[in-house]
Amino acid sequence: MNWIELTSVEQLEELSTASKSQPVVIFKHSTRCSISSTAKSRLERNWEKQGLAEVPAYHLDLISFRDVSGEIAERFSVHHESPQLLLIHNGECPYAESHLGISASELDEQIKLVQG
């Protein structure tokens, strides 16, 4: 899995624009939380098995980049949680999951739904 590090608010505009041609994913990770580490590890182990290799995946260290995390909540109208997985499609967030509900297989299903 090839994470794209999300470190600036400006990147949110880029990924929002990119989501108009292809769904993108944001994973908000707390480096201080064991549940977050578990969710991240499960995603990484199952990403390619689930056929998600072509889906751009952004990784946000929300401890280091709290301003970006706040902007994500505001821009995509989602309640902040950690860990949190967001599917961005056409500049909006049609799917968000948190904690141990985060799953590569469920994400794959949601991507199929938004792509029709």
Confidence band, pLDDT 50/70/90 cuts, at residue 116: confident
pLDDT, tens only, 63-114: 999 999 999 999 999 998 999 999 999 999 999 999 999 999 999 999 999 9
CB-based contact 107:25 (threshold 8 Å): yes
Q: What is d(CA 33, CA 30) in angstroms, rounded to the nearest whole number?
A: 6
pLDDT, tens only, 13-29: 999 999 999 999 999 99
- H helices of the chain, in order, are 9-18, 34-46, 66-75, 104-115
Count of domains forming the chain:
1
CB-based contact 43:99 (threshold 8 Å): no
Give the structural domain span for 43.
3-115
Confidence band, pLDDT 50/70/90 cuts, at residue 1: confident
Mean of pLDDT values over 59-63: 96
CATH code for the domain of 60: 3.40.30.10
